[in-house]
Amino acid sequence: MSRRVVVLGAGVIGLCTAYYSALEGHDVLVVDRESENHHGCSWGNAGLVVPSHIVPLAAPGMIGRAVRWMWNPESPFYVRPRMDLQFLDWAWKFYRAASARQAAAAAPIIRDLNLHSRVLFGELAQRTGDAFGLVKEGVLLLCHTQRGLDEEAATATQARRLGLEVNVLDAREAKSQEPGLEMNIVGAVHYLQDAHMDPARFMTALRNLAVGAGAKFKWNTQVNGFSTNGRRVQALAVPGEELSGDEFVLCGGSWSRAVTTGLSVRLPLEAGKGYNLTLDEPRVSPRKGAILVEGRVAVTPMGQGLRFAGTMEMAGLNLHINPSRLSGIRKTAMRYYPQFTEADFKGITPWCGLRPCTPDGLPYLGRAARYDNLTIACGHAMMGLSLGPVSGRIVAQLISGRTPDLDLTLLNPDRYNS
C-alpha cells in the first residue's frame, strides 16, 4: 500500500531512505534546512566503505586517549569541555559505553550492516554506470609504530573470527601494494572487503536516482516542530504551513536531536567535526584507500585527486575551521608519506562537516516506540556514507510493513529513553 512519506534531511541517510522508499511505491517528500547546492557532511567525507570498522567510537581505552589528546590541539580526537547539561549527559553515557563487553556486542551488527551496504553499493554502481567511481580493492591500515601494528593485528584477529577477509602485512609487503609511493611505516593491515569512492559524485548520483524514482524535495525549509495525535505524528510544521504524511522519517544528522522538540523522543547526540584537505593534482597518489592509524587520517584517491580526511572534534553545532586540526592532518600525511611537503597543501580550501555521534557509537535505526508512524535513522558518526544504503533499505522495509533484513535490537532508537 502506497504511503505519503516525509523524510527529514537530505544527507546520505535521507537520500537513501528516499530512494528505497520510492522504489517501494511510496510518495516521498524530502525536507532539508539547506539549499540543494549545500555540500554537508555526506559530500566531503573520506568516501570509504568500511566493513573493517567493527570497533565503535566508544571503544575500550578511548576515554584515556581522549584525556591525553585534550592537551594537544592537533590530536586526532578532541573534546572541548563545556558546561552544557546535554553534553555532560552524553559524555557520561559515552564513558559507560566504552567497555570491552559493549564493543564485542556491537561488532557483529556493525559488520553485518557494512557488508549488506557493500552489496548495495555494488548494485547502485551498476544502475548508475559507476557514476561515483567505486573501487573494491580494500583499504590499507598503515602503521607508523610497532605498537600501532600490534594493536591493529589484534583487531584483525577479531575481524577474522567475525568472518572478514583481512591480512597483516610487514613493511615490505605493505609497500608492494603501492609501488612508486614512499611510505614511512612498519607494516599494515589490509581489509580486502573495504572499498572507496568519490562521495560528492555518489550523492549526486543518489539524488538523481531518488528523483528518477519519484521522490520530491523541499529545500531551504526549517523544521519548527511536529503535530501529533495520540500515537501518531500528523504533520511536520515548517514556516507558513504544515506538511502532512502517513509516515515520517528523521534523518537529520547532527541536527536530529534539535528537531525533536515536542516529541516524546530522547536522542543523546553530539556533533563530531571532521575535516578534509583535497589535492586536485597530487604529485604522487596511492591506488588503494588507506587509514594512517596513529594519526587517524583517512586517505582516499578520487579520480585525479587525493583526499586526506580526519579528526573528531566534539565542539557542538558549529562549522568553525580550527587551523590546528588541519595542521594535524598535514603533519600526519607527511609523516607517513615523506614525498609530500607543506608546499603540496598550499592554497587548498579546507572543508569541515559534522558527524552525528551517539554515546555508544551505534546508530539510531528503527521505529520510535512512542509513535506508530515515526522511524529514526541517524547517529551514524563516521560510517554515515558506508551505512547509507543499508539504512535506507531497512527504513523502506519498516515503512512497508516488512521485517528488516537485520536484527535491529542494539540500534533501538529508544535505548536511552529510560
Same domain, 276 and 368: no
Same domain, 225 and 324: no
Of 339, 356, 373, the position where a domain reaches its end is 356
Same domain, 179 and 87: yes
Structural domain includes residue 126:
no
Structural domain includes residue 25:
yes
Q: What is the mean pLDDT of the chain?
A: 94
Same domain, 297 and 164: yes
CA distances, 147 to each of 13, 132, 144 (Å): 36, 36, 9
User: What values do phi and psi take at 177, rounded to 5?
Assistant: -75, -20
Same domain, 161 and 69: yes
CATH no. for residue 247? 3.50.50.60
pLDDT at 173 over 80: yes
Structural domain includes residue 124:
no
What is the per-residue pLDDT for 67? 67
Same domain, 244 and 392: yes
Half-sphere exposure of 412 (CA within 13 A, CB side): 9
Of 340, 356, 372, the position where a domain reaches its end is 356
Structural domain includes residue 259:
yes
Same domain, 336 and 398: no
DSSP label of 380: B
Q: Comparing C-alpha atoms, which of 60, 46, 61, 169 is closest to residue 107?
A: 60
354 contacts 245 by C-beta, under 8 angstroms: no
Quick count: other Cβ atoms within 10 Å of Cβ 129?
8
User: What values do phi and psi take at 134, rounded to 5?
Assistant: -70, 125
What is the per-residue pLDDT for 305? 96
104 confidence band (pLDDT: 50, 70, 90)? very high
Same domain, 352 and 366: no
pLDDT tens track for 314-357: 888 889 999 999 999 999 999 999 999 999 999 999 999 999 99
Same domain, 168 and 236: no
DSSP label of 333: H
Please give the single-letter amino acid code of residue 307: R
Same domain, 85 and 165: yes
What is the per-residue pLDDT for 280? 95
Structural domain includes residue 125:
no
Structural domain includes residue 123:
no
Q: Which domain holds residue 142?
A: 50-98+134-194+271-356
pLDDT at 140 over 90: yes
57 confidence band (pLDDT: 50, 70, 90)? confident
Same domain, 352 and 297: yes
Same domain, 215 and 342: no
Structural domain includes residue 110:
no
51 contacts 196 by C-beta, under 8 angstroms: no
What is the per-residue pLDDT for 76? 77
What is the per-residue pLDDT for 56? 86
- In DSSP notation, 207-269 reads HHHHHHTT-EEE-S----EEEEETTEEEEEEETTEEEE-SEEEE--GGGTGGGGTTSS-----
CATH no. for residue 68? 3.30.9.10
74 confidence band (pLDDT: 50, 70, 90)? confident
Structural domain includes residue 109:
no
Strands 187-191 and 166-170, bridge-based pairing:
antiparallel
User: What values do phi and psi take at 357, rounded to 5?
Assistant: -115, 125
Number of compact structural domains in the chain? 2
Mean local confidence (pLDDT), 224-238: 93
